[in-house]
Amino acid sequence: MKFIVSRNELYKNLSAISGVLSTNNTMPILDNFLFTVSGKTLTLTASDLDCTMSAEIQLDTVEGEGSIAVPSKYLLETLKLMSEMPINFATEEDGESISLKFSVTDGEYNGHCFKGDEYPTTPVMSENATGFDIDANILYRAISKTLFATGTDDLRPTMMGVLCELNEDNITFVATDAHKLVKYRNNAVKTINPTSFILPKKPLQQLKGVIGSESGAIHVDYSAENNHIRFSFGNIVLYSSLLEGNYPKYKSVIPTNNTKTFVVSREAFLQCIRRVGIYSNPSTYQIRVSLEADNTSIKAEDIDYSNEAHESITGTYNGTPMNIGFNSKFLREILENIDTPEVQMDMSEPNRAAIIYPVNQKEDDAEYILMLIMPVMLNN
């Protein structure tokens, strides 16, 4: 099998799918890229069994067909140090052994590789799969706004992913780690066949990395029969298994009877949290937000090291005076993932969750974002 491919084209596509590769594979063959040549199409594949990603490259010069598994590390490192030029690939078989030689104008590289039939097969979607299209920009924003709020607790695996709910009116993405919660909804995507599934974190991270520069529609196929999902866009296809189990009933934890509101500049609030949070206890990140009609102050202290910080911030507060505690790290993450000039925080009691969202946002807006943060108990 022989073929010629552009260095830039090959490196760009291998880099795009390389994030799927794992550092602790249970199968050594998964440390490799699968190269498959069929006709004049070269298909590159990377997999960790749960997530598989492939990219197609059209070739001009090909001799023969077949597939080989190429060690990813040495190939990526070599290509990274090359400039743009055509690369000639050729395989040589000697009994059960197979090697790969790739050469350029002033160099030749030889390495051991493996037969392609040792590589796990790519998942096949069920004929009964449900399909829908979503704009690349919408999917990118949905992932960006929710991924940071996913959990890390192996004992609660469903919370380590993002819930996707699709119905006749909109698509909704939800993520929570029990300390914070994010709900992102967009009315541009809808279906006559309502469905829901839980997307694992890794394929979402991979999608976020490759669709940032994409435009146009991404086609999504979801199969409850084999519990898989497939994203197709451009020359790239990503398959992933889905998380099994019931997602927490997130709607019940979003408070609705909030009598206290605080409207403030997002950037000023964020910078204040960043500065004051430096002086908080490194194990709790606790800060105290003291809300009054004519003054709002933020305070942090670490008694063990006699560290303390206090700042006042200008905002509009409506409600009775209240002291409420937050984890500054979680509050900072929420503010970093809202991109409007001002935010509104709705609260009821110091021991009840607060919700944060863009000012002037309405329930029927084309895009709707709501973020929730649980308070922490304040030290006396």
H-run or E-run covering 205: helix 201-211
Q: Under 8 Å CB-to-CB from 11, ≥6 apart: which residues? A: 76, 79, 80, 82
Q: Domain ranges in the chain?
A: 2-118, 130-252, 254-373
CATH architecture of 254-373: Roll (3.10)
Give 214's DSSP letter.
Answer: -
Tokens 């997307």 belong to: 199
| Same fold yes or no, 130-252 and 254-373 | yes
Cα angle vertex 294, ends 303, 285, to 5°?
Answer: 25
Domain at 2-118, CATH from 3.90.1200.10, 3.60.15.10, 3.40.47.10, 3.10.150.10? 3.10.150.10
Fold entry, domain 130-252: DNA Polymerase III; Chain A, domain 2 (3.10.150)
Residues in Cβ contact with 9 at an 8 Å cutoff, skipping those fewer than 6 apart: 57
Instruction: Determine the residue type at 23.
Output: T
In order along its 380 residues, the chain shows pLDDT tens digits of 999 999 999 999 999 999 999 988 889 999 999 999 999 999 999 999 999 999 999 999 999 999 999 999 999 999 999 999 999 999 988 777 899 999 998 899 998 899 999 999 988 888 888 899 999 999 999 999 999 999 999 999 999 999 999 999 999 999 999 999 999 999 999 998 899 999 999 999 999 999 976 778 999 999 888 899 999 999 999 999 999 999 999 999 999 999 999 999 999 999 999 999 999 999 999 999 999 998 999 999 998 889 999 999 999 999 999 999 999 999 999 999 999 999 999 999 999 999 999 999 998 899 999 999 999 998 76
186 residue type, one letter: N
Supply the pTM of this predicted model. 0.93
| Cα–Cα distance measured from residue 190 to residue 49, given in angstroms and rounded to the nearest whole number | 30
